[in-house]
A = this chain, B = another copy of it.
Amino acid sequence: MASPLTGPEIERLIDLLAKLPGLGPRSARRAVLHLIKKKEALLIPLARAVSDAAEKAMICSVCGNVDTRDPCTVCCDQRRDVSSICVIEDVGDLWALERAGAHKGYYHVLGGTLSALDGIGPDDLSIGKLVERCHAGEVKEVILAMNATVDGQATAHYITDQLETAGVAVYRLAHGVPVGGELDYLDDGTLSAAMRAKRLV
């Protein structure tokens, strides 16, 4: 921008918001105008909320979830099935599975996937900690819920190897037709996988 249109504090807020995923410079500008219009209802509460989150957010030392306590809310939930750990790439995946109510055990966030291209090796992910947890006793099953990408699947293979001596059953998620999905829009790989895994009704 050649000459500033508005105060430096507002420009700075726009610049920072524009760095969020899903927002660009234009939508950040619109968001900031919206915030300033709703100063009492939105901007001031947001100021407090961002400060609180900055102060209190932490990573769970057990599973890698993001929370304001350590161990996190999920790890502290005694009603969960201690024999089952679901391994995911990222915290967002944990939240997605929890929203779906799809898993009743505990979780383990890897923090990414192995990637030769990006130079991410086993030591960059919390795989060692996962192996430790599995050797510690109560765990009977590990569900590898990595993304169905090349890197995700390579990571799953690697973890399966690492867990060979841990005496746990290792599962992966089923492949198939997404619920609500239309066959015509699915890729060949998904269709083939769904056909191979066909089930008696």
| Tally of contact residues, A, Cβ under 8 A | 61
Residue A178 is within 8 A (CB to CB) of chain B in the complex: no
Chain A 1-24 against B: per-residue CB contact (8 Å), 1 yes, 0 no?
A: 111111111101100110111110
Please determine whether B68 and A33 come into contact, CB atoms closer than 8 angstroms: no
Known pairs A22-B23, A49-B16, A53-B43; A68 contacts B35 (CB<8 A):
no
Known pairs A20-B31, A21-B30, A22-B22; A6 contacts B72 (CB<8 A):
yes
Rank and list the top 6 A-B pairs by shortest CB-CB distance, nearest first: A7-B68, A9-B52, A22-B27, A20-B31, A47-B50, A13-B49
| A interface residues, Cβ below 8 angstroms from B | 1-10, 12-13, 16-17, 19-23, 27, 29-36, 39, 42-47, 49-57, 65-69, 72-74, 77, 90-92, 94-95, 98-99, 101
